[in-house]
Amino acid sequence: MAGTQTAYSRKDHERAERLRYFGDVALVIVGIVVVWQILHMLAGDVAISSPLATAIRAGELLGSASFWPHAAETAKALVYALIIALLIGIGVGTWLGAHKLSGAVAEPILVALYSLPKITLYPLILLVFGLGIEAKIAFGAIHGVIPVTIFTMNAVKNINRVFLRSARVMKLTAMQTATRILLPATMPEIVSGLRVGFSLTLLGVVIGELFSSHRGMGFLVMRAIGLHDVSTMMAVTLILAVAAVAISSILLYIDNRLHRRV
Amino acid sequence: MNRLTLIRLGVIVAFFGLLEILCRTGVISPFTMIPPSEMAIELWALIVSGEVARGMRQTLGNVAVACILAITVGFAVGAGVHALPRLRRALDPFLTTYYAVPFFVFYPLLVFIFGMNNFPMIMIGFLFAVVAMIINTLNGLDKIPRVYRKVARMHHMGRAKTALLIELPYAIPNLFTGVKLAVAYSFIGVIAAEFILAPGGLGYAISFAYDNFDNETMYALMLFILVLVTIINMSLHAYEQRLLRRQGR
């Protein structure tokens, strides 16, 4: 009897704790909006539109037919870039993780590439791929591929040797080893790589759209600047930021669950 | 020189050699890319003429300001937030998703508000770098084993003395990781900003050369930035690894 009682009170306690946590997070969001409102009052409508006006403009944009082709263009470029980054990253990462010497040779090179301002390469991409969506995809992919490679490499390198030995004992084929052993064992790290890769790929695609582009969310921001349309500019920025945070949070949730399971 | 470094050098030389051959044989047309050797010659000419120095002063100046701001503010905020566990827990989801927001969309807004000068570029570099410093400060302070703080208490150290003699030295490798990332991110932020919209600097010079079909200047400057940033980043990385090894982590 006493045992069930403590169990109940612990559950209550956990619930109260979680409520308090969400309350705190909500407070932080309120804080951000308040700071935004203050900045708006200091700078005026010409520079920063108020949170309310931005939200209303964002609602209008989301309801208008002319907005969606731009959102679709950005989403399409992002998805293609991510797929390319994942395929190359997982492939190269597996090789570098499995072959010790290649991994040791490549690691510092990957680290160097990771922290390079890749924007300097954008003109090269434009010259190779032209001014269309291909350039954006390629630019997004070169941003995303490196973290995916690094995470996959580390996952494969640190895989528990016993798993591989038991695969050999059970006479699994290479294909079976890959799908039944390697993939599940490296999944949590690959998802972590995907999460970081997603952020960087989106960054790459959007930078691509800010510079020499005629479609997409980044282009909408640049056009709004040209027209001195502050509320549209901020509304597009807001939509992009909220969408990015939402997707990233979902990936983070999956990431945490996978890591807990192992 | 050990074997790994030799192989690595070989890979890099082979890469540039291949590019050189592809450019020379016309597989890659000169309108797309000029051979690496010509980039180097062109770059030397730009350095001698002093053209690079002007852009470099502006870019490096902005990077330095952004970076120092990010390191000091990031450290102060990180240490402050670490002392307030409830605030820290509430901020955590924002810190982890921070880099998902493609920050450069704010840049046009900043130019709009502050005008076309160095300030918006410094702001972008700062915004891009500061959170890496905050996260690594928190990480460093998190990793201090409880036993170290107990030792401090046993020796009757005050708050300031504990921070200075125990916490700071232990957290230094992580703090340095923050510094390393802050430098790399400030570079990325400032150069990208110069690229999109700017009154000057190396990124602007590249984008200007691109608009004028001046491939020689463009590739020479690209090579310059990539080599410069790689040297800076790799030195910081090497020093960080040494710090980590010294602590036996």
Report the pLDDT value the prediction gives residue A86, as an integer from 0 to 100.
Answer: 93
Residue B40, domain member (yes or no): no
E-only strand ranges, A28-185? none
Residue B239, domain member (yes or no): yes
Query: Angle CA(B213)–CA(B215)–CA(B220) in degrees, nearest 5?
Result: 145
Structural contact between residues A207 and A91, judged by C-beta atoms closer than 8 angstroms: no
Cα separations (Å) of B110 from A232, B51, B104, B128? 15, 28, 10, 14
Place of tokens 């690229």: B195
Q: B69-88: per-residue pLDDT in tens?
A: 999 999 999 999 988 888 88
- What average pLDDT score do residues B131-148 get? 89
Closest CA to B102 of A108, A206, A20: A206
Q: Tell me the shortest Cα–Cα distance from A219 to chain B, in angstroms.
A: 10
Q: Looking at the 3D structure of chain B, how many domains does it have? A: 1
The CATH number for B183's domain is 1.10.3720.10
Report the pLDDT value the prediction gives residue A185, as an integer from 0 to 100.
Answer: 86
Report the pLDDT value the prediction gives residue A8, as an integer from 0 to 100.
Answer: 64
Q: Is the pLDDT of residue A124 over 80?
A: yes
Q: Which domain holds residue B124?
A: 50-246
User: Two tokens at B187?
Assistant: 């570079």
Q: Tell me the shortest Cα–Cα distance from B153 to chain A, in angstroms.
A: 30
ipTM for this model: 0.79
Q: Which of residues 193-212 of A touch B (CB under 8 A)?
A: 196, 198-200, 202-203, 205-207, 210-211
Q: A147-188: per-residue pLDDT in tens?
A: 999 999 988 888 888 888 888 898 888 888 888 888 888 888
Longest Cα–Cα distance of chain A, Å, equals 75
Cβ contacts (< 8 Å) between A205 and chain B: which residues? 102
Residue B11, domain member (yes or no): no
Per cent of chain B over pLDDT 70 is 99
Going from N- to C-terminal start, the domains of chain A cover 2-43, 58-261
A226 close to B (CB below 8 A): no
Contact flag B188-A105 (C-beta cutoff 8 Å): no
Q: Which of B96, B210, B233 sits opposite A123 (nearest CB)?
A: B210
Report the pLDDT value the prediction gives residue A1, as an integer from 0 to 100.
Answer: 44
A125 close to B (CB below 8 A): no
Cα separations (Å) of B169 from A12, A58, A240, B137, B162? 41, 48, 41, 12, 10
A30 close to B (CB below 8 A): no
Q: Tell me the shortest Cα–Cα distance from A165 to chain B, in angstroms.
A: 28
Report the pLDDT value the prediction gives residue A104, as an integer from 0 to 100.
Answer: 86
Any residues with CB less than 8 A from the CB of B211 and at least 6 apart, and which?
Answer: none
Mean pLDDT, all residues of chain B: 86
Cβ contacts (< 8 Å) between B96 and chain A: which residues? 248, 252
Cβ contacts (< 8 Å) between A226 and chain B: which residues? none
Structural contact between residues A105 and A130, judged by C-beta atoms closer than 8 angstroms: no
Mutate to test the interface with B, among A57, A120, A227, A240 (most CBs of B within 10 A): A120
Report the pLDDT value the prediction gives residue B242, as an integer from 0 to 100.
Answer: 87
Q: B36-53: per-residue pLDDT in tens?
A: 888 888 888 888 887 778
Q: A17-74: per-residue pLDDT in tens?
A: 888 888 888 888 899 899 989 988 887 777 788 889 889 999 998 988 888 999 999 9
Q: Is the pLDDT of residue A2 over 90?
A: no
- What average pLDDT score do residues B204-231 get? 86
Q: Tell me the shortest Cα–Cα distance from B241 to chain A, in angstroms.
A: 11
Residue B89, domain member (yes or no): yes
Q: A129-146: per-residue pLDDT in tens?
A: 888 888 899 999 999 999
Mutate to test the interface with B, among A119, A220, A223, A250 (most CBs of B within 10 A): A119
Residue B6, domain member (yes or no): no
Report the pLDDT value the prediction gives residue A74, as an integer from 0 to 100.
Answer: 92
Residue B217, domain member (yes or no): yes
Q: Is the pLDDT of residue B204 over 70?
A: yes
Residue B29, domain member (yes or no): no
Cβ contacts (< 8 Å) between A236 and chain B: which residues? 105
Report the pLDDT value the prediction gives residue A137, as an integer from 0 to 100.
Answer: 92
Report the pLDDT value the prediction gives residue A262, as an integer from 0 to 100.
Answer: 58
Contact flag B104-A202 (C-beta cutoff 8 Å): no
Report the pLDDT value the prediction gives residue A140, as an integer from 0 to 100.
Answer: 92
Cβ contacts (< 8 Å) between B97 and chain A: which residues? 244-245, 248-249, 252
- What average pLDDT score do residues B198-223 get? 84
Q: Which of residues 35-64 of A touch B (CB under 8 A)?
A: 43, 47-48
Query: Angle CA(A115)–CA(A93)–CA(B100) in degrees, nearest 5?
Result: 45
Q: How confident is the model at residue A5 (pLDDT cuts 50, 70, 90)?
A: low
Contact flag B33-A124 (C-beta cutoff 8 Å): yes
- What average pLDDT score do residues B174-200 get? 87
Residue B13, domain member (yes or no): no
- What average pLDDT score do residues A193-218 get? 86
pTM: 0.83
Q: A220-256: per-residue pLDDT in tens?
A: 888 888 888 888 888 998 898 888 888 888 888 888 8
Cβ contacts (< 8 Å) between B210 and chain A: which residues? 123, 126
CATH 1.10.3720.10 given to domain A58-261: yes
Q: How confident is the model at residue B151 (pLDDT cuts 50, 70, 90)?
A: confident
